Copies of this chain bind each other. A is one copy, B any other.
Amino acid sequence: MARDVGALVARAREGDPRSVGRLISLVENAAPELREVMAALAPHAGSARLIGLTGSPGVGKSTTTSALLSSYRARGDRVGVLAIDPTSPFSGGALLGDRVRMQDHALDPGVYIRSMGTRGNLGGVSWATPQAIRVLDAVGCDVVIIETVGVGQAEVAIASLADSTVVMLAPGLGDGIQAAKAGILEIADLYVVNKADREGATQTVRDLKSMLTLGEKRAPGAWKPPVLSTVSVKNEGITEFVEELDRHQAWLLESGELENRRRRRAAEEIEVLAVTALRERMGDLSGGDLLGELADEVLAGKTDPYAAADRLVAAVEG
State whether B183 touches A43 (Cβ < 8 A). no
- The one of B131, B151, B306, B317 in contact with A316, judged by C-beta atoms closer than 8 angstroms, is B317
Say if the beta carbon of A153 comes within 8 Å of chain B.
yes
Which of A57, A181, A259, A308 has the most chain B CB within a 10 Å cutoff? Answer: A308
Q: Is the interface of A mostly helix, strand, loop or mixed?
A: helix
A306-B267 CB under 8 A given contacts A87-B181, A122-B182, A183-B119? no
Beyond the given A269-B305, A274-B312, A275-B275, could you list 5 further A-B residue pairs with CB under 8 A, ordered by the A residue number?
A122-B152, A122-B182, A151-B151, A266-B296, A275-B278
State whether A35 touches B299 (Cβ < 8 A). no
- Nearest chain B residue, comparing its CB with the CB of A315: B274
The segment from A213-221, A242-250, A287-295 found at the interface with B is A287-295
Q: List B contacts of A306 (CB < 8 A).
A: 34-35, 38-39, 273
User: Shortest Cβ distance from A162 into chain B, in angstroms?
Assistant: 16
Docked complex: A59-114 residues within 8 A CB-CB of B: 86-87
Q: How many interface residues does A have (CB within 8 Å)?
A: 66
State whether B270 touches A295 (Cβ < 8 A). yes
State whether A267 touches B294 (Cβ < 8 A). yes
Docked complex: A268-285 residues within 8 A CB-CB of B: 269-271, 273-275, 277-279, 282
**Could you list which residues of chain A lie within 8 angstroms of chain B, going by C-beta atoms?**
34-35, 38-39, 41-46, 57, 86-87, 119-120, 122-123, 130-131, 134, 151-153, 156, 181-184, 259, 262-264, 266-267, 269-271, 273-275, 277-279, 282, 291-292, 294-296, 298-299, 301-310, 312-313, 316-318
- The one of B43, B182, B262, B270 in contact with A312, judged by C-beta atoms closer than 8 angstroms, is B270
State whether A299 touches B262 (Cβ < 8 A). yes
Which of A86, A264, A309 has the most chain B CB within a 10 Å cutoff? Answer: A309
User: Shortest Cβ distance from A132 into chain B, in angstroms?
Assistant: 13
- The one of B182, B267, B279, B291 in contact with A292, judged by C-beta atoms closer than 8 angstroms, is B267
Bound CA–CA A43/B303 (angstroms): 8
Which of A39, A259, A274, A299 has the most chain B CB within a 10 Å cutoff? Answer: A274
- Nearest chain B residue, comparing its CB with the CB of A44: B301
State whether B299 touches A266 (Cβ < 8 A). yes
State whether B266 touches A313 (Cβ < 8 A). no
Q: List B contacts of A153 (CB < 8 A).
A: 122-123, 151-153
